[in-house]
Amino acid sequence: MLLPMNEAIVAVICQLIDDSKAKTAGRDYREPSHADIEFCVDQAGLSAFDPKQQGQTVGKAKRVRAILHAAMTDQEEAGSRLAHALLSKIRACGGFRPDSAHYAGAEAIANVKAAFATEGFLLTVDGTVETTVLSSLKGVALTQALTRYAARAQRSSQDAALLAGTGKDLMEATAAHVMMSTRGAYLVHANFRALLGTAFIELGLAVPEQPPSHGESAAKPLERALFEAACAANRLRNKEGSGHGRPWVPNVRDEEGKAAIEVAGCVSAYLLSKLVARTK
In angstroms, the CA 247 to CA 163 distance is 10
The pLDDT of residue 25: 42
Q: Look at the chain and count its residues.
A: 280
Residue 58 neighbours by CB under 8 Å, 6+ apart = 51, 52, 66
Q: Whole-angstrom Cα distance, residue 227 to residue 223?
A: 6
Q: What is the pLDDT of residue 28?
A: 59
What pLDDT shows up at residue 4? 76
**What string of DSSP letters covers 250-277?**
TT--HHHHHHHHHHHHHHHHHHHHHHHH
DSSP-derived 3-state class of residue 231: helix
Query: pTM for this one?
Result: 0.64
- 152, with CB counted inside 10 A (0-12, 13-18, 19+), is buried
pLDDT in tens, the chain (280 residues): 577 788 999 999 999 997 655 443 444 578 899 999 999 999 999 999 999 888 888 899 999 999 999 998 878 889 989 999 999 999 999 999 999 989 999 999 999 999 888 777 888 888 888 776 676 678 888 888 888 888 877 876 655 555 543 446 789 989 999 999 999 988 888 899 999 999 999 999 999 999 888 888 999 999 999 999 999 988 887 664 444 445 667 777 878 888 888 898 899 999 999 999 988 7
The reported pLDDT for the residue numbered 125 is 86
Report which residue type is found at 81.
R
In angstroms, the CA 163 to CA 173 distance is: 8
pLDDT score at 20: 59
C-beta separation of 148 from 134 below 8 A: no
- State the Cα–Cα distance between residues 263 and 236, nearest whole angstrom: 12
